[in-house]
Amino acid sequence: MTPHPPLRRPPELESGRRSPSVAPAEPSFLSSVLVSLAWVLLGILSLVVGLVALVTVLAMARQAGEARSSLLLWIFALFVTFGIPFALAVWKHWGEAGRIRATMAWLPTLWNASALAVGIMLVPDLVGTALRNTDWIVEGNMGADHNATRTLSALGHRAADVVDPDGEALVQAPSFDTLVDVDHAIELPFNPKGNAIFVDVELEGPTGDRVQRRYLFDTGASFTTITSETAAELGIEVPDDAPTVEFNTASGLRQSRVVYLPSLTLGGVEVGSLLVSVCDACATERTSGLLGLNVMREFVVQMDYQAHEIQLLPRLHEGAPDRAYDIKPVARLALRGRADIMFGRVRWQVEVENRGQVPLQNVTPVVEFTDGPALYGQRIDRIEPGDRALSLVEGPVGESPQGSESRREFTMSIAEAQW
């Protein structure tokens, strides 16, 4: 047998030296910064998505149960958006605090983004409605006209327009009566060579007193008039601080105080709840006043020139007739807060003051933009004399053509109201 050569130790072992171990390469400073930045951005994204989901769930929960307390709604929304992801992270990594913290940096983002995506695909109308009603979250503490409320409302509507573009329900314009009563038409003869048409009317005061008067049918008068003497006979008080109006007549512009007249009857047709001007100068030896446009608006006027006759067809009303034309002079409108336009939308509180002598009912303000739409406010049920009430006007107005949204020109008025 051939003998094997003796085994020899490696030289490094014989000299007492060991081969050096290979240490892992340390990450560079740049990579450490990028990783830290990524975790920060992921945390911010998780917070933003979570807040959007929180607001949405909170608004949807309120829609489902408005009678429940705000505290319960907040607890429910926080549990759904952040509580469930935290419970899943704890269940998966029980006893490992570091891994739980790392999981919470991304799991709420995935959880809430997925929930929002599913909701948008399955029930976009419910999600859109919830987003359009997020303003209540801060309105209770800060007020309806606070910038925070307006901003949250504008952001919610902007998001809802993406989710459910056709879901916004704006306050619609009031409808007007178009039917007439041909069976009670009033015929007024006139002389084509003359320049005046006289009619007999009956006026009724607040206590039921009635007087008969002869009036001039004046198509140029904005309002019907009475004299101070007639007002006293009817028991109508004319306060010194009564609202005043400038109104047109066939003989020119006049200014006078206005008061409430319960009823005027013309040709057997009663026209109730009118604003009349106390104008002594409007009466003559032949007439006690002017029958103006606020009465004529209650008729369809037809003229038969060959028969020398004017025919008045009474309008038919369903319920109380609209008296916005008469009420405008006694209703003072003012904007509560600044006229800010955010993201092409307005959310304004319009204050309506009743300067008249009787309560106003079913008052609908309107804001008309010179270069944009007309937005109608929420209906005010009742305003007592001397009181004020608020109406919320909101909706899209578009971008300003001049590029400065804060300088849009607009007017405020009454679209519909009754005495």
pLDDT of res. 230? 94
Percent with pLDDT over 90 in the chain: 27
More confident call, 399 vs 245: 245
Q: In one letter, which amino acid is 52?
A: V
- Residue 9: pLDDT band (50, 70, 90) is low
- Residue 265: pLDDT band (50, 70, 90) is very high
Distance CA 330, CA 276 (A): 11
Number of helices followed by number of strands (H, E) in the chain: 12, 17
pLDDT of res. 180? 83
pLDDT of res. 24? 59
pLDDT of res. 378? 93
List the one residue out of 246, 245, 186, 243 whose CA is nearest residue 217: 186
Distance CA 54, CA 116 (A): 10
pLDDT, mean of residues 240-256: 77
- Residue 387: pLDDT band (50, 70, 90) is very high
List the one residue out of 87, 106, 128 whose CA is nearest residue 41: 106
pLDDT of res. 87? 92
β pairing state of 331-336 and 345-354: antiparallel
DSSP string for residues in 261-310? EEEEEETTEEEEEEEEEE-GGG--SS-S-EE-HHHHTTEEEEEETTTTEE
β pairing state of 299-304 and 410-418: unpaired
pLDDT, mean of residues 362-389: 93
Q: In one letter, which amino acid is 324?
A: A
Q: Is the pLDDT of residue 105 over 90?
A: no
Q: Which two tokens stand for residue 327?
A: 């009420």
Q: Is the pLDDT of residue 27 over 80?
A: no
Q: Is the pLDDT of residue 401 over 70?
A: no
- Residue 67: pLDDT band (50, 70, 90) is low
pLDDT of res. 367? 93
Q: Is the pLDDT of residue 352 over 70?
A: yes
Q: Is the pLDDT of residue 13 over 80?
A: no
Alpha-carbon torsion (211, 216, 219, 225), positive or negative: negative
Mean pLDDT over each residue of the chain, to the nearest integer: 83
pLDDT of res. 95? 85
More confident call, 173 vs 259: 259
- Residue 177: pLDDT band (50, 70, 90) is low
Q: Is the pLDDT of residue 350 over 90?
A: yes
More confident call, 19 vs 135: 135
pLDDT of res. 128? 84
pLDDT, mean of residues 226-252: 84
Domains of the chain, CATH where assigned: 31-163 (no CATH), 182-319 (2.40.70.10), 325-418 (2.60.40)
Could you report the per-residue pLDDT of 69-100, keeping only the tens digit for each?
778 888 888 898 889 989 998 998 888 888 88
List the one residue out of 378, 372, 371, 324 whose CA is nearest residue 347: 378
- Residue 320: pLDDT band (50, 70, 90) is confident
pLDDT, mean of residues 185-214: 85
Q: Is the pLDDT of residue 125 over 90?
A: no
pLDDT, mean of residues 45-58: 82
Q: Is the pLDDT of residue 56 over 70?
A: yes
pLDDT of res. 159? 83
pLDDT of res. 324? 92
Q: Poorest-confidence range of 16-30, 167-181, 204-218?
A: 16-30
